[in-house]
Amino acid sequence: MRIGIIGGGQLGRMLALAGYPLGLRFTFLDPSVDACGTQVGEHIVGAYDDPKKLRELAKQVDVITYEFENVPVDTLQAIAQRQQIFPPISALATSQDRLLEKNLFRKLGIATPEFKAVDSLADLQAAVDSLGTPGILKTRRLGYDGRGQYRLRRNQDVAAAWQALSGVPLIYEAFVPFTREVSMIGVRSSTGETAFYPLTENTHKNGVLHLSVAPFKNTTLQKQAEQYLTKLFKQFNYVGVLTVEFFVLRGQLIANEMAPRVHNSGHWTIEGAKTSQFENHLRAICGLPLGSTAVQGQVVMLNFVGDIPTAKQALQLSNLHFHDYGKQPRPGRKVGHATVVADSVKTRDAAVKAMLKLLPNSNTKGSKAQKK
């Protein structure tokens, strides 16, 4: 079977690496001639919204998936008649618009931060008057890793926030004084079978995922997150991996956003779970039985952003799994990650300290202190 992947970044690359043992083969659609995923599959060089290139992809493959959210829905709809596309386009469309997403969460009884749509300066002032500060003004579309956001600390920040982001539809959210951020990764197969990974605790640096630790053990929150994902699976007749990021506040989950794809906070599953998120996504979209999501120990994943140690440096840590995406390092760019599967929380925490020293310009204070 041949899988078409829209987007040739590291997520696509890890999908392909997980799929080869299953006998799957891959074709990527990506405009960049040196997209890192294309090192491990066929490559159609073309824009994501080029109908001709999408048709070419559809002709060559048995099923299409995508590895990032900003794929134009209209062009996908045009090929959906003749080619299966998973996850469903309806889930993709919802995830592309923070307002649609949060309205759906509310409709399904999934808690969200307080929010208001903002299309004018008057709307923003009214939203701030109603929800107060601090709060975050976000673009409804095309925001990621903290981009397209403005934090308002005081009422007087309204004008500056409006100046920074106006011109596109916006949403104002009350700031959630969370104690931690967690994500839930679940998977539903085209046969209807579902599976869930344990919750992962995530810390960010400069808006970008820095560290993920799993499992985050909390039976009540695990159950609640699984119920929330089950509602979303039903809503979309979902197929594939689905990720939802949550804030934890006073022992409750508050949904921030969903991603209809494999997710950076699930990279630890490659070595830390019996079946990785990548393999389970492929199993799901190919209608194969899902693999066990059981965690293999105490796991930590560290992202390399902007720069990456050499394999020789990284592999000084004997139990470390090193992933170099083969990308040119650039500030803010995710270029690799490392995972350690430890047998206890104590050894995992020691591993975190050692891993942080691997970071070029390492700052061993870590991310907790810098949590956004």
Q: Give the orientation angle of helix 10-19 with respect to helix 277-285, to 10 degrees.
A: 70
Which position among 8, 88, 113, 266 is part of the footprint of ligand AMP (CB under 6 A)? 113
What binding mask, one character per residue, do residues 236-275 give for ligand AMP by CB under 6 A, x or -? ---------x----------xx------------------
Which runs of consecutive H residues, i.e. helices, occur in 21-155? 51-60, 73-80, 89-95, 98-107, 121-131
Integer Cα distance of 186 and 241 in angstroms: 6
Comparing CB distances to ligand AMP, the nearer of 102 and 188 is 102
Cis peptide before 21, with omega less than 30 degrees from 0? no
Cis peptide before 289, with omega less than 30 degrees from 0? no
CB of 114 vs ligand AMP, minimal distance in Å: 9
For every residue of 210-235, DSSP letters joined together read EEEEE----HHHHHHHHHHHHHHHHH
CB of 6 vs ligand AMP, minimal distance in Å: 21
CB of 258 vs ligand AMP, minimal distance in Å: 10
Cis peptide before 72, with omega less than 30 degrees from 0? no
Which of 59-67, 122-130, 175-183, 230-238 is the region at the interface with ligand AMP (rule: CB under 6 A)?
175-183
* Helices and strands (DSSP H and E) totals, the chain: 12, 17
Question: What backbone phi and psi angles, to 5 degrees, belong to 352?
Answer: -60, -45
Comparing CB distances to ligand AMP, the nearer of 152 and 285 is 152
Q: Does 173 bind ligand AMP (CB under 6 A)?
A: yes
Looking at the DSSP bridge assignments, the partners of residue 322 are 338
Which position among 55, 103, 175, 291 is part of the footprint of ligand AMP (CB under 6 A)? 175
Q: Does 207 bind ligand AMP (CB under 6 A)?
A: yes
Q: Does 143 bind ligand AMP (CB under 6 A)?
A: yes
Which of 14-22, 174-182, 287-295, 359-367 is the region at the interface with ligand AMP (rule: CB under 6 A)?
174-182
Which position among 67, 69, 157, 181 is part of the footprint of ligand AMP (CB under 6 A)? 181
**Tokens 């889930």 identify what position?**
91
Using DSSP bridges, classify how beta strands 170-174 and 115-118 pair: parallel, antiparallel or unpaired.
antiparallel
- 142 is written with which tokens? 């095309």
CB of 146 vs ligand AMP, minimal distance in Å: 4
Comparing CB distances to ligand AMP, the nearer of 207 and 326 is 207
What does the radius of gyration of the chain's CA atoms come to, in whole angstroms? Answer: 20
Which of 87-95, 173-181, 284-292, 319-327 is the region at the interface with ligand AMP (rule: CB under 6 A)?
173-181
Q: Does 137 bind ligand AMP (CB under 6 A)?
A: no
Residues that bind ligand AMP (CB under 6 A): 113, 136, 143, 146, 173, 175-176, 181, 204, 207, 245, 256-257, 372
